[in-house]
């Protein structure tokens, strides 16, 4: 949902979708060249829209790496404002690590947590999540707020809130009462 909230306000997204609607079965690099955007940006938009069933792709295998050819499907996206407000309510709360039987994989040079083994299952974190989790203080501490995390690593508060929601759902952290 956080990814969707970030890209939905971008005029570039709609240019990509409109182009794809009129030019089906295109790969991200071709779309990017035609529109003058970076390939990574177009790929990111398409991956997010694919999660919400707005576009689909077929993988085309030739010599070398497979290529994804996207097409526009269209449809509706529902944004649950109540869910966002529930996440937003975490903004003023303090969070800390929860006691549990899990093992983290660290990158101390980058000050990030790459992943965790939880219930014999390996869970990887993206760089933003890893940086946020690295800052969560230990059990029995007073905790840390979203604002304090944002000030330390210059990551926007929505990214922090959605990461905290994920960590809470994994039972890695707790809200300090």
Query: Could you tell me the CA-to-CA distances from 87 to 57, 104, 144, 170 in Å, in that order?
Result: 32, 25, 16, 15
Which residues make Cβ contacts (< 8 Å) with residue 154, sequence separation at least 6? Answer: none
Q: What is the pLDDT of residues 86-131, one digit of tens each?
A: 889 998 899 999 998 888 999 999 999 999 998 889 999 999 999 9
> CA-CA distance, 16 to 129, in Å (whole number)?
28
- pTM value surpassing 0.95: no
Beta bridge partners of 72: 55
Choose among 22, 80, 23, 77: nearest CA to 50. Answer: 77
Domains in the chain, CATH or no CATH each: 2-72 (1.10.10.10), 81-176 (1.10.10)
Tens-place pLDDT, residues 45-60: 999 999 999 999 998 8
């Amino acid at each position: 949902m956080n990814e969707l909230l970030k890209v939905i306000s971008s005029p570039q997204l709609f240019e990509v979708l409109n182009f794809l609607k009129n030019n089906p079965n295109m790969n991200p690099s071709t779309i990017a060249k035609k529109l003058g955007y970076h390939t990574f940006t177009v790929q990111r938009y398409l991956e997010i829209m694919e999660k919400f069933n707005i576009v689909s792709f077929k993988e085309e295998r030739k010599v070398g790496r497979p290529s994804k050819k996207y097409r526009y499907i269209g449809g509706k996206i529902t944004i649950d404002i109540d869910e966002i407000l529930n996440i937003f309510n975490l903004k003023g709360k303090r969070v800390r690590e929860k006691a549990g039987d899990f093992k983290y994989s660290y990158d101390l040079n980058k000050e990030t947590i790459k992943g965790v083994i939880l219930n014999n299952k390996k869970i990887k974190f993206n760089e933003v999540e890893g940086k946020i989790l690295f800052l969560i203080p230990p059990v029995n501490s007073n905790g840390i707020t979203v604002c304090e995390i944002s000030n330390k690593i210059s990551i926007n508060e929505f990214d922090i809130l959605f990461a905290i929601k994920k960590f809470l759902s994994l039972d890695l952290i707790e809200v300090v009462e």
